[in-house]
Amino acid sequence: MSTWSPPTRRHAAAPAFLLGILGLIVFYQDLGWFPASGRVSNPDAVPGEWHWLLFDSLVHGDLGPLGDTVEHLVLPAFALAIHPALAIGRILRSSIGSALESDYVRTARSKGLKEAQVVVRHVLRNSVNGALSMTGLHLGFMFAGVLVVEAVITL
């Protein structure tokens, strides 16, 4: 008779284009919170000659198209950013955990520093290196995934 054991923690991820499709199904089709495709609802309403919709709206002081453009950016940005954010957060969490057990943190606490000062001055400063390195790696992957996600969401 075999005994059940809980699954071990494994790295699981969905590709960015699949997250984009799931975002369209949930947030556009089911909930109706965000638009499905395009850059703006009415392209003729955006003033400017640069065709950078956020920038053109801000420069010309027309905030109506600005909100519409941001609504159209939410789903692709979420689909591209969720996996790197989780991976970087996981690295930062493990770095902070190991830094909290180190001798210099114990020394800072024994000197009478408040816990917030210990965390900001000593723990975060020494823990952020791994997260920054992971950010550089994921930035390249995000640029590679932009083409596929934009193709899926703008169809």
For the segment 37-85, what is each residue's pLDDT rounded down to a tens digit?
A: 666 656 665 556 666 676 777 777 777 677 677 777 777 778 777 788 8
For the segment 120-141, what is each residue's pLDDT rounded down to a tens digit?
A: 888 888 888 888 888 888 888 7
The distance of Cα 131 from the centroid of its chain, to the nearest Å, equals 13
For the segment 15-43, what is each residue's pLDDT rounded down to a tens digit?
A: 666 777 777 777 776 777 777 766 665 66
When pLDDT is averaged across residues 86-101 and rounded to a whole number, the result is: 88
Distance CA 31, CA 26 (A): 6
Q: How confident is the model at residue 155 (pLDDT cuts 50, 70, 90)?
A: low
| Tokens coding 98 | 């190991």
Which range is least confidently modeled, 22-31, 82-91, 104-113? 22-31
Distance CA 20, CA 143 (A): 15
* pLDDT more than 70, % of the chain: 71
State the pLDDT at residue 41. 59
State the pLDDT at residue 74. 77
When pLDDT is averaged across residues 95-119 and rounded to a whole number, the result is: 88
Distance CA 126, CA 103 (A): 13
Longest dimension (CA), the chain: 73
From residue 57, alpha-carbon distances to 43, 61, 118, 127, 150 in Å are 12, 6, 43, 39, 22
